Amino acid sequence: MLQSATPRLILASASSARRAVLSAAGLAFDVQAAAIDEAAIKQSGQAEGAAPADVAILLAELKAERIARRNPEALVIGCDQLLVCDGIWFDKPTDPADAARHLKHLRGRTHELITAIVCLRHGQRIWHHVARPRLTMRNVSDSVLETYLAAEADHITACVGAYRLEGLGIHLFERIEGEHAAILGIPLLALLGFLRQHQVLAT
């Protein structure tokens, strides 16, 4: 078998994109979403002048810790992603109007997706990694944005940046640098390497 029976893997995330990435890689895992006050932690981090990567790691670890308390024998995977453009941190848009504001700021610019992953077992962080994909959005017209927002209305508030590269959002970009899975929210190649090192996956 490619994956050992133990430890059990748990993804501490409600993200359908992250679940899809792990499933496509053939991993067996459970999903237990962890609710934390992300907005308050981000605001505190910004007020203290913390680096976006440090805040993303903290958020990922807090999510994993919430689930690891109930599952100490499992290997719990926590993830978080921050979008940073021109020094501004972006959260998931609250509604279509907020999504439109996000996209209008991002168009014609390059932004980073600070994508953190943390693994916990027995209550301890045993590994973490940060990926930094860079994406350059085309300077698309207002009419293109309006058409896009209407077509993706059911999905845009679930995505930081208000776009889905696995959907119509790919049409908004002219250049993408970085692993596709990391852009979707989970640095898969780094995670697979970690799992092989710890004999969770066959080498």
- Show which residues are catalytic: 80
- Assess contact for 118 and 57: CB atoms under 8 A: yes
Q: What is the DSSP string of 19-32?
A: HHHHHHTT---EE-
The count of residues in the chain is 203
Tokens representing residue 148 in the block = 């896009």
Q: Going by DSSP bridges, is the β-strand pair 88-90/75-85 parallel, antiparallel, or unpaired? A: antiparallel
Measured CA to CA, the distance from residue 74 to residue 57 in angstroms comes to 20
